[in-house]
Amino acid sequence: MEIVADDPPAPPAAQSVVREPPAWIADAMTRMNGQDPRLVTEKTVTKSDVNKSLSRLLIPFTAIKDEDFLTDDERRSIDGMYEESKNTKKKYAGFQVKVIDPMTRTWDLALKRWNMEKSSKNDGFSSNYSLQKNWNRLAEANEFEEGDGLELWSFRAEGQLCLAIFTH
């Protein structure tokens, strides 16, 4: 009698990370009538994230925990602005978003798509989102440093995308 092994089970599909937000985010959401918290990313703050001349937080697509933090319309808008700027070689303002910090200060930042060429042109590029416009002020006020663990959460307040950020 021949024994035939079953095929190994397929790996589970990538699933959204389900985790409760920290209490300060839940409290801020309550005050803002917010809902639908999602962990967008966890990362280590890099040297470039706190480089004042670059003035941006890089969020690699590969590090995003929950791609549904953006609605389809928001994603289309960001992608459309990116494509238009690529074609016209003009800078674009990005998608305006409110960001709160652990002191519940609100910051107006721009969420943009940004493709970066890899070290060798033959390697293609890496796709990222970046938080810009006022990033240096937020990072400095919160004393973000290279090597810090960073969490970025999203939620909806009156239908608008809001982000909450902190380091540990």
What is the residue extent of each domain of the chain? 23-167
What does the mean pLDDT of the chain come to? 87
pLDDT digits (tens, 9 = 90+) for 16-59: 446 899 999 999 999 999 999 999 999 999 999 999 999 999 99
The conformation of residue 165, written as its DSSP 8-state character, comes to E
User: How far is CA 157 from its chain centroid?
Assistant: 17
pLDDT above 60 for 8: no
List phi, psi (to 5°) of 147: 95, -15
Is domain 23-167 in CATH 2.40.330.10, yes or no? Answer: yes
Q: 154 in helix, strand or coil? A: strand
This prediction's pTM? 0.83
DSSP for 21-33 reads PPHHHHHHHHHTT
Instruction: Give the pLDDT confidence of 105-130 residue by residue, as tens digits.
Output: 999 999 999 887 766 666 677 899 99
